[in-house]
Every structure is written in structure tokens, then in C-alpha cells.
A and B are shown apart, each in its own frame.
Chain A
Amino acid sequence: MTAVLRDVTTLSVRGLRLVRRDLDAMITAVVLPVVILLLFVLVFGGALDTGTGYITYVTPGVILLAAGFGAANTALAVERDMSGGMVERLRSMPVAAWTVLTGHVVASLVKNLVSTAIVFGVSILMGFRPEATALEWLAAVGVILLFVGWITWLAALVGVLVRSPDAAGGFTFGVMFLPYVSSAFVPVETLPTWLRGFAEHQPVTPVIETVRALLAGGTVPGDVVALALAWCLGLGVASAVAAGLAFRACR
């Protein structure tokens, strides 16, 4: 067990170093979320009436969108390990080779924590005034990380399954659409009926609603929180198990 822990630590340190030295990943993690935030608030914000200040409304959505972009980097990194010699080498060593996936997931969580802090920082500078207590802040960030964890395990699964970097990159496209068709940027009620059904029953909407409610400092509807946690944990565990199984089967 201690050996597995050491492997996870070693490979997490590796994952973090790879992310920090990957210009692409750093731009995706640091610059892109801010650009998206500015785009939504300054360009679209004026035309959108969401009841509250649009910046208050949109900030959680930008963070989840950024997590989706960042996940593509994880899929690419995993694909690179699979098709390069790294996984082969690890498998010939007395190492639990699947821990290489865990390393990438830990790196992604840390990276998204940084993105989240930056988006909140810029957003507050632009007039976002969350009324959350410290505990509510913690809870909000926790829910965001659960979401990131799910998306990243899904990305790891994609990285294991695909046979080329291009296919791994295509994954971004899929996850990018989830936040758009949710309550992240516009209230669900403004969507056409046929889209509303999807938007109300996909994981991003309850996660967004939970984070938004926590930050507003108001009461958070219990059923929405339960739904958000169930989506993230359920899909997260399913993705992690699938990634692990696919990893073992790839031999």
C-alpha cells in the first residue's frame, strides 16, 4: 500500500511538472478562462438579462467551461503516455501502472484549482460580489473540484481508448458543449422547449445551480445539491473504473 502511495505521489509530481511546462496547457488554464470571462461579461453580458448582475450569474459557468478545455490536455497527455513508451516501461516495472492515470488526474485538479482562483479573482475585480461564508466558499470549490474530477477521469478514459492525438483533441468538442446547453450562461427557461429538457437533465445544470447558490450565500435547495453530487460522483466513479479497466485491457 505504501508502495502504491509512493507511485501515486511520484506520478502526480510528474503530472504537475508536465502541465507546468506545457505552454498549451498553461494558456488553457490561465489565459483562456479569463478571456472567456471577459467575452461573456463585456460582449454578451449587455444583451443578456438574467435578473442579477451578469458577472454574478456567469462566473461559475466560465469555471466549468475552463475545466472542459483543460480536460482535453489530460486526454492528450494520457494518449501520449499510451502511444509513447512510458506505459510500456511502467508495465515492465514493479509499479501499479494505472497510477500514471491518477498522476494526470491529480495534476488536472491542481491546475483547475489555479484556474478557478484566477477566474474568481478577475471576476471580483470586475464587480462580482459573492456573499458566501468561508464554509460556503469551501463547499463551492469542493463541488467544482468534484466536477473537474469527473471530467478529468472521463478525459483519461478517452486518452486510453483513442489511437491518435487528434482523436484525443476531438474530445474537447464534446465536453465543451455541455456547459453551453445548461444554465451556465443563460437561464434554462429561455431555451427552446426541446433543448430545455436536455439542459435540465444534464450534470452541468445542477452543479452550476449549486455553486451559484453557495456563492450567493442564500439557501441551497437540497435536491439540487443531491443531484449535483450524484452526477459528479456517479459519473466520476464510472469514468475512473472504466479508465482503469480499459488501461488493463490495452495489452
Chain B
Amino acid sequence: MTAIVTAEGLRKSFARRGAPPTPVLDGLDLEVDEGTVLALLGPNGAGKTTTVRILSTLLRPDAGRATVAGLDVVADARRVRELISLTGQQVAVDDKLTGAENLAMMGHLAHLPRRAIRDRVEELLAAFDLTAAAGRRVGTWSGGMRRRLDLAAGLLTRPRVMYLDEPTTGLDPRSRQALWDVVRDVVAGGTSVLLTTQYLEEADRLAQRVALVDGGRVVAEGAPARLKREVGEAGVELDLASAADAARVARALGPVSVDGTRVRVPTDGSVAHVRSVLTTVEDTGVVPEHWAVRAPTLDDVFLALTGESGAAERPARAEVAA
């Protein structure tokens, strides 16, 4: 597969008044394969937005190089702009214009042939389920609808690459779901997507590859499933009524980890193994308040790999050895 977006060793510092420049990007590398979604996942201040701003020609890197379809984002900025669309963290539509007016305006600014604009606008309004509201001012729309319009505004030209900077921040679950569907459709239409998010679920659901960003560099990269495997195996988690109960269950089960009233038993997730664990627990006579089989989530990956700040937030775990 060929890479449509590449970044090599991107560095960027921002000057602060009365302080030395703060490095935001510290040698960031990434590649977006053509026709796929890459999610940049990281905490606030990791450098996600700065990366997107460089890749969309809004910002020059201090060092390093980035290309879109082989074109340098600094030297060939104008041509790059014809290939990309950016949907930033803030919704960039005019509240006082109607949905249709907003899209038509973007069509003119994208220099589409005048006659083509009307059809394209109607097509996009229909695709984003906004036809009914198209004649109303956007100021009266819901947050989810405004976000969808914002995305549609970026798609008038059928861009090769679409950048989405935290597109679902502040949306309710239903709107988030609708937006994910839209992104999938966009990708099915041949557009490559670079998405930043703080939501692990979002990266997991949408992206073929995830790049974990922390401190201005990519600390882990790969398919969501592979990243999760790296962090560890699944476990049966049992919540007991008291620490004494937890100790009793732990003694019966053998090598397990105990954290207060919670007992975690590593498992391969097979029916046979889970059943044997539960039988052992039942034989102790202790009734757990709650139990579940829990596979590692991207949250675990996130906490395991994003350095000190992540580690500090992890609950301490006491190891009980048999």
C-alpha cells in the first residue's frame, strides 16, 4: 500500500512570552496509507493539532518534512491545498447563513464550476441527512447537524485527504455514531483520512491504524488489535464484597492479581477456561457482586504507553503470589 501522507521528523516549538520556546513536536513521524484512516490518539497537549496544522499547510515545521501525494506541504502548499480538506476543532460554518448557502459558498471558494455547485450541494445535503433543514439558518441547528454540515463543507471537492481534528468532541452518542458512519462512507469513496481524537473507542472503531502521540512524538503505532495485544491478555475480573473475600477467592484461584476488592485472573477467553475459573470461585462459597471478562482496551494501551502522566493515574495494584 502506498502512503498518501507522510511526515518525517517534524519539529515545532512555540515561543511563549517571557519563557523559552516550548517544543510541541519533537521528531514526529507518521504515514497515512491511501484509502485508510489513521487515528492520532493522545492526551491534550500531545501535539495532535499542531501535526494536523502542519500537514494542512497552516503552519511551517521548524524541522522535518511532510508530503501529501508526494507534494511538499511547505514548498507546494498551494497544490497541496487543492487535494486536502480540513475540519478543525471549531465548526467553521456561518450561523447566519442557511445550510445550503454555507455549502454553496464553500463550493464557490473551492472554485467548482458554477453550474456544478447546485447539484453537488444537494447531493451532500442528502448524503448527510440535512436536506430537510437546508433552508434554515445554521444557528438554529443542533450541534450534531452543524458538525455534519462542517464535514460536508470539506467534501465539496472530493478531497484526496481529509483531516479531522477531534471531530466528535462535544457530540452526544447518537451524533457521534452518525458522524462515524459519514467518515466510513467518505473512506469508502476513496478519500484517505487523518483523524485526531482523545476517544480510544473512536480510534478503535474507525481507524485501520492508530498512532499514539505523547510529548510530540509517536510512541506506538499499529493496528488497534495489535496495540491491544501488546499490552496484555484478557482477564476475568471479579468484584467481591470485601477485601477478606477477595483474599479467599485469590487463594483458591492461584496466581492472580488483587486490587482492593477486585480479583483479576488472566484468561485466554475460552469458554472452558472461564467456566473453570467460575467453578473454582463458586466452590469457595463466596458470591461475587459482579464479574466480567475484560479484554484490554485502547485505554490500557494509552495508559501503559503515555509516560509518567499516564502511570500516575493508574491505580496501584498489589500482586499476590501463590
Contacts and interface: CB of A to CB of B under 8 A. Distances in A.
Contacts of B97: 14, 17-18, 21
Given A18-B94, A94-B82, A88 B58 contact: yes
A76 to B, nearest CB: 13
Interface string A1-33: 001001101110110011001100000000000
Contacts of B101: 17
Contact of A91 (B57, B91, B137): B57
Given A17-B97, A92-B81, A85 B91 contact: yes
Contacts of B81: 92-94
Interface stretch (B105-113, B207-215, B231-239): B105-113
A86 interface: yes
A89 B96 contact: no
Given A3-B111, A84-B92, A89 B105 contact: no
A205 B87 CA distance: 48
Given A91-B58, A94-B81, A85 B111 contact: no
Given A17-B101, A21-B96, A84-B90, A7 B84 contact: no
A93 B96 contact: no
Contacts of B94: 14, 17-18, 86
A90 B109 CA distance: 8
Nearest to A17: B97
B191 interface: no
Interface string A56-99: 00000000000000000000000000001110111111110000
A231 to B, nearest CB: 34
B97 to A, nearest CB: 6
B7 interface: no
Contacts, number: 70
Chain A contact residues, majority secondary structure? helix
Nearest to A90: B109
A101 B25 CA distance: 32
Given A17-B97, A92-B81, A251 B58 contact: yes
Contacts of B108: 6-7, 9-10
A101 B111 CA distance: 19
Contact of A88 (B92, B109, B110, B137): B92
Given A3-B111, A251-B59, A85 B88 contact: yes
B56 interface: yes
Contact of B105 (A3, A14, A22, A251): A14
B311 to A, nearest CB: 35
B4 interface: no
Contacts of B56: 92
A85 B49 CA distance: 13
B249 interface: no
B59 A7 contact: no
Interface in B122-165: 137, 150, 153-154, 163
B294 interface: no
Contacts of B242: none
A21 B81 CA distance: 31
Interface in B57-83: 57-59, 78, 81-82
Contacts of A21: 96-97, 137
A10 B57 contact: no
B78 A94 contact: yes
A88 B96 contact: no
A95 B90 CA distance: 19
Contacts of B85: 92-93
Contact of B92 (A6, A22, A85, A251): A85
A86 B88 CA distance: 9
A85 B109 contact: no
Contacts of A10: 105, 108-109
B226 to A, nearest CB: 32
B89 interface: yes
B86 interface: yes
Contacts of A94: 78, 81-82, 110-111
Contacts of B163: 92
Nearest to B57: A92
Nearest to A86: B92
A89 B239 CA distance: 50
A89 B93 CA distance: 10
A33 B85 CA distance: 43
Nearest to B84: A92
Nearest to A99: B109
Contacts of A85: 88-92, 150
13 contacts: A6-B111, A10-B109, A14-B97, A21-B96, A84-B92, A85-B89, A88-B90, A89-B88, A93-B81, A94-B78, A94-B111, A95-B109, A251-B58
Nearest first, the 9 A-B pairs at minimum CB distance are A85-B92, A85-B90, A92-B86, A89-B92, A10-B108, A21-B96, A92-B56, A94-B81, A85-B88
